[in-house]
Amino acid sequence: MPGVRQVEVIAHRGASGYLPEHTLEAKAMAYAMGADYLEQDLVLTKDDIPIVLHDIHLDTISDVAQKFPKRKREDGRYYAIDFTLPEIKQLNASERFNHKTGKAVFENRFPAHQGSFRIPTLAEELELIQGLNISTGKSVGIYPELKQPEFHHSEQKDISKIVLNVLQEFNYTGQNDLCYLQCFDEKETKRLREEFKTELKTIQLLSDADWMSQSDLQEERNQRLQEIATYADGIGPSVNSVFRQAPRSDLPIATELTVDAHRHNLLIHPWTYRVDSLPKLFSSFEALHQATVLAGIDAIFSDFPDQSVELLTKLSESV
């Protein structure tokens, strides 16, 4: 249908190509850029509050080492789970950096160690998104991820139960709600359906593996996808698993993963689309999006949601 964008855009950690990841500022910017969903990576504090943070560690996105130098563990790292929310709120959040060198991970993004940003709670972010939905009349969804549930279990904390309770407080409970709940841990994703009986849409995140991309492993791929389809609504593979070099063509084409996933009624939401870190097969951000539309992919995680929205809209109109 001309004029209708076929592929949805998930703002990966917000507009993280422009502002420090997972800050409310990055989420507000992504919202204004037209993203369909905003992602929330979640970990727990010492006092059982879900906060929006990509890692269980604080020392790659904050000044925790300066403010609380004696609170590191034996491995030299600072864990969010060792800090209460009032302590977390004392930290300045930053563009991501190497915790050993202090050097920014992405050199040409927002300068590391600058600005005045905070680490938000899940509740704070949901209040922001729902408030913007009311004031703008839009319907932008959320995309929470349960980070390292096994680690939380080892610390006697049930991150799934706590997060589901917060989502319920904000009326995210059903299949038709604008919410995808994702996790890399297959046992935990199954648990969401089998133990908690959640009706929310769930996504099984996947790390690169041969069965996803190699054409001679179709039987194994279909077995895995068939199993995933018993407890999840879709998969979130690495973008590297989704494309392969095409013979006699400069534009890479889809691997069998997308077709096989759709055969099992699974959505496919690959990660991560970055202008400043393109997959090795692609020469431009536009070519990556062109291949995405041709592949029939359902949604993408993008650090640059404005550019992804613009490219996907333009490409959809030309199909």
* pTM exceeding the 0.95 threshold for the entire prediction: yes
For 300-314, how does the pLDDT look when each residue is reduced to its tens digit (9 = 90+)?
999 999 999 999 999
Instruction: Note whether residue 109 is domain-resident.
Output: no
319 band by pLDDT with thresholds 50, 70 and 90: low
Task: With H, G, I as helix, E, B as strand and everything else as coil, classify residue 293.
Answer: helix
Q: Which residues form the domain of 162?
A: 8-56+120-318
4 band by pLDDT with thresholds 50, 70 and 90: low
Instruction: Note whether residue 158 is domain-resident.
Output: yes
* CA 142 – CA 154 distance, rounded (Å): 27
For 30-65, how does the pLDDT look when each residue is reduced to its tens digit (9 = 90+)?
999 999 999 999 999 999 999 999 999 999 999 999
State both tokens at 166. 């917060």
The whole-number pLDDT of residue 2 equals 46
Instruction: Note whether residue 256 is domain-resident.
Output: yes
238 band by pLDDT with thresholds 50, 70 and 90: very high
Q: Just list the catalytic residues.
A: 12, 54
State both tokens at 190. 């199954």
Instruction: Note whether residue 83 is domain-resident.
Output: no
Whether the predicted pLDDT of 1 surpasses 50:
no
**Which of 25-29, 138-142, 216-220 is the least confident region?**
216-220
259 band by pLDDT with thresholds 50, 70 and 90: very high
Supply the CATH number for residue 142's domain.
3.20.20.190
* CA 175 – CA 259 distance, rounded (Å): 23
